[in-house]
A and B are shown apart, each in its own frame.
Chain A
Amino acid sequence: MTSARDKFEQEFEAFLGEEESRLAVLYRKLPRPEPDARLDAAVHSMAHRALNPQLVATPRSEAHRRRARWLPAFGAAAGLVLAAGIAWRVETARRSESDQLMAPSKDVISVRQLDAPPPPPAEAPLSPAPPPPEAAVTLQAARARGKAENAAAPVLAESAKPAAAPVDEKIAAKVAEQEDDRSTASAAGSLSKTQPAARAAPPPQPFPAQAQKRASELDAVERKQIMAAGAWQNLHDRDTGESAKTAGHKAKALDDKSPTAAPASASASVAGSAPPAPAMAQPSTSREAPVPTSSAQSGQAASRADVGNETARRESAPSANAMGGKAADAPARSTDPNAGLYPEHWLANIRTMLKEDHHDEAVRSLAEFRKMYPAYHLPDDLRDLK
């Protein structure tokens, strides 16, 4: 027993003192696991990051830092885009506003033209074309949209403040109010009220046969545009008939005013009786619309529904855009019934007049054409027509 303990003590002392004891040798034959590469990488990453946290980081923090670095740049770019968008919108609104302010002055001019002697009677009996079904549907849609526009009208009137005089602001507000009432009333009105109105006052067509032929050639959009323009003009005539005197006096007085304030005031004075609150599409519409030359027609138009006005503005605006702004760029209004057409169609009508020996009519129409489109390059066959 003692010998066993002594032997144990000897072995234990050898285990403690010797580097290569029997157990130590045996232990080294055991599997010698080592840390895996992931652990090594993690430790190395820690060690490197501890010395230079800016240069070495774990992938997660690197991505985080990269994202954080791009955030301000992205924010700045987004801000620039936003600012550019706002500036563009403001500029667009300002241009539309200036167009809107310019247009009514032409309306006033047209009012004075209405006072001119009546034109020669139409050569052919008026053949009022009933509005196509799609136009009627459009009228309903326009009526429905009227309310939405009424809501927008005060905003537009507000945007017109810088350019217009305070008096005009009041008038514009009144106009908006009237428009509101009118659209409410017209929304309650039936479509049958609108259709006879459109039928009762077609724009004068000196060449009904050609016009009908041409209308069949035009696509639906163009026909709607023409119909709508006629309705707008008729309504306008009604209004101008009511306030012709006032408008005439105002137009004279406005000629002496500044170019910015004058159109706005004129617009308000004309619009005060009928047209709705300032709308962006109105100027192009008034330019496109054929102008009735008869005061009787104006009186007749006064009985028409207001819906036509709204529809005209609604429908002609996109049509003008679709035309690439050709008609909208027309510099002045014309009494020629072809003034509402594309220049190419107008010229075709002039050629038709020449073929049918209506030389004087053709010359007169070409003169009107030249007035409206002074920069238009006339074809050779019409250039020297006199």
Chain B
Amino acid sequence: MGVEKTDEELMLAYAQGDVRAFDALYGRQRGMLYRFILRSVPDRASADELYQETWSRLIASRTRYRVEAKFSTWLLQIAHNLIVDSFRRARPQAGSEETETVMRELDAPESDRPEQVLSEFEQRRRLQVALEGLPSEQREAFVLRVESGLGLEEIAAVTGAGHETVKSRLRYAFAKIREKFAE
């Protein structure tokens, strides 16, 4: 039994002409990348387009790939840039006023948040609604955290934001989702 290659090794192998390495790498990353994009854009058609474009960019820049970070970070960074571009083309970024309001409401009494009594189905539904209601930067940071399992530094690398900015976005996202569960 050979040791399974890492994502970075597979990417390097593909850059040197190994098509099967790409197939293996694609199989590993496809779901995560697709869901990340799908949670970040309003519709599936845009997600499909951005997903394909992300892989296209990756393929085009395969020879310039260097192992300086996790492969998934690089891949998500490409996707993030494309998502940001699509948002810029579509509509202006959401403001942060809404998140400030959410943070002020965090001080509500604990008895007013009976999330424990909600069924699991209802919890999933509320999480879905809460995610859709998040500003894109916060949602993206949240998804990168829970979907891709990235830490603050990696999210910062993907999104190009600072460490504290990422932490703040995550805090706002976490607070708003928690608020949805309290409704």
Contact = CB atoms under 8 A, between A and B. Distances in A.
User: Does A pair with B?
Assistant: yes
Contacts of B123: 26
A19 B30 CA distance: 21
The DSSP consensus for interface residues of chain A is: helix
Contact of B55 (A5, A28, A46): A46
Interface stretch (A7-15, A88-96, A113-121): A7-15
A219 interface: no
B15 to A, nearest CB: 10
B74 interface: no
A126 B44 CA distance: 102
Nearest to A36: B48
Contact of B107 (A1, A32, A39): A1
Contacts of B6: none
Given A4-B106, A19-B149, A48-B19, A40 B174 contact: no
Interface stretch (B31-39, B75-83, B88-96): B31-39
| Size category, B interface | 35 or more
B146 A51 contact: no
Contacts of A32: 31, 35
A30 interface: yes
Contacts of B151: 16
Contact of B174 (A23, A30, A44, A51): A23
Contact of A51 (B19, B56, B120, B178): B19
Given A15-B170, A30-B128, A33-B34, 18 more contacts: A4-B106, A4-B109, A7-B110, A11-B178, A12-B171, A12-B175, A21-B146, A27-B147, A29-B124, A30-B127, A34-B35, A35-B34, A40-B30, A42-B52, A43-B52, A44-B23, A47-B59, A50-B62
17 contacts: A5-B107, A16-B151, A23-B127, A24-B146, A27-B147, A28-B146, A32-B31, A32-B35, A33-B34, A33-B38, A33-B44, A35-B48, A36-B48, A39-B48, A40-B30, A47-B19, A50-B59
Interface of A: 1, 3-5, 7-8, 11-12, 15-16, 19, 21, 23-24, 26-30, 32-36, 39-40, 42-44, 46-48, 50-51
